[in-house]
Amino acid sequence: MIRVENLQVELSKQTVLSGVDLEIENAKLSMIVGPNGCGKSTLLRSIAKLISSAKGKIILDKRDVKNIPIKQFSKMLGFLPQNPRSPQGLKVFDLVSRGRAPHQSFLRQWSDSDEAAVKSALEATAMTGNHNRLLSELSGGQKQRAWIAMILAQQTDIILLDEPTSALDLRYQFEIFQLLKTLTEDHGKTIVTVVHDLGIAARFADHIVALKEGRVVASGASKTVLTSENLQKIYDWPCAVMQWENYPLIIPLDNLETA
């Protein structure tokens, strides 16, 4: 379980997060939503120990993350930023095998367990057939799957993804979130993603955290968070929420106040 207590972050003298408290359950797919600039990415990066000025506590398996050494932490939690930089000339296999770095050392760069981990990561993301292709010749959806395979090869229990499907077509979006869902259900991974698309959140999230101006506005199951009152509060825009099968269906309305 990840527990965040009174997290405060200031970046370039501006308050980005002002006292965030939240709990993320194990083996669940949790999603962070909210308007642009509300601190979603900052929250995710803070949990990944990437923001050194973060104040407050982040507790992972009863340990304050500040006290976990970087190398050990890298075996516990994998983090994928939005639009990571893909170096020139790398093949899918090369990228995925870099996910093994936490388990390797300079004099022990490759072992059978590395090989097995890379193989199963490629299989889980359906990238086995592409392992010998250059990253630069992949489609957007394939490239994103390659990055996710890298995080899977890291073999951490917790995975954080910052907008893993931004700029992807509907079909690729669904493929990736279906994959994430299987990873939580069948492999017991704890996954936290930042998402923009509320349709995706409604459809796939076990747990939604809604942020606004650096604070948690609502948190819980999709049905309790994605209500028309909450959406008005979060996005300052009226929405109707209907029910389709078991999922909330969100329809943005005309805004009578600005019209």
Partner 1 sequence: MTQSYFHFKFMHISMLFYRRSVYFGLIVTVCILFVVWSSLSMGVRNFGVVDLWNIMNGNGDSTDQFMLVELRVPRIVAGLLAGMAFGISGETFQSLTHNDLASPDMIGLNAGAALGVVAVLLLIENPFIPLAVGAVLGVVVTALVITLVSWRNGINQTRFVLTGIGVGALLFAIVQYVLLSANVMQVAQAYRWLIGSLNATTACNISALTFLVVSISLLAFRTQPVLALMDMGEGVAQNLGVHVSFWRVLVIGIAISATATAVYICGPVAFVAFASGPITRLVIGRGPAVFLSGLMGAFLLISADFVARTLFSPIQLPVGLITVFVGAPFLIFLITFQLKKQIL
Q: Helices 170-187 and 140-153: crossing angle, nearest 10°? A: 20
Which among 68-76, 166-174, 214-222, 249-257 is the span making contact with partner 1, rule CB under 8 A?
68-76
By CB under 8 A, residue 88 contacts partner 1: yes
Largest CA distance in the chain: 66
**Minimal distance, residue 38 CB to partner 1, in Å:** 20
**Minimal distance, residue 207 CB to partner 1, in Å:** 23
Among 102, 141, 199, 238, binds partner 1 (CB under 8 A): 102
Measure the CA–CA gap between 197 and 195, rounded to whole angstroms: 6
Amino acid at 197: D
By CB under 8 A, residue 110 contacts partner 1: yes
Among 17, 33, 43, 49, binds partner 1 (CB under 8 A): 49
Q: Which residues contact 99 (CB under 8 A, 6 or more apart)?
A: 78, 117, 118, 121, 149, 150, 151, 152, 153, 154
Angle at 26 between CA 220 and CA 230, to 5 degrees: 10
**Minimal distance, residue 48 CB to partner 1, in Å:** 6
Among 3, 119, 133, 181, binds partner 1 (CB under 8 A): 119
Q: Helices 112-124 and 170-187: crossing angle, nearest 10°? A: 130
Among 67, 106, 244, 258, binds partner 1 (CB under 8 A): 106
Residue closer to partner 1, measured from CB, 156 or 222: 156
DSSP 57-101: EEEETTEEGGGS-HHHHTTTEEEE-SSPPPPTT-BHHHHHHHTTG
Residue closer to partner 1, measured from CB, 12 or 67: 12
Among 70, 243, 244, 245, binds partner 1 (CB under 8 A): 70
Token output for 150: 């890298």
Token output for 244: 């389709």
Residue closer to partner 1, measured from CB, 108 or 171: 108
Q: List interacting residues with partner 1 (CB under 8 A).
A: 12, 45, 48-50, 70-71, 73-75, 77-81, 84-91, 93, 98-99, 101-102, 106-111, 115, 118-119, 131-132, 154
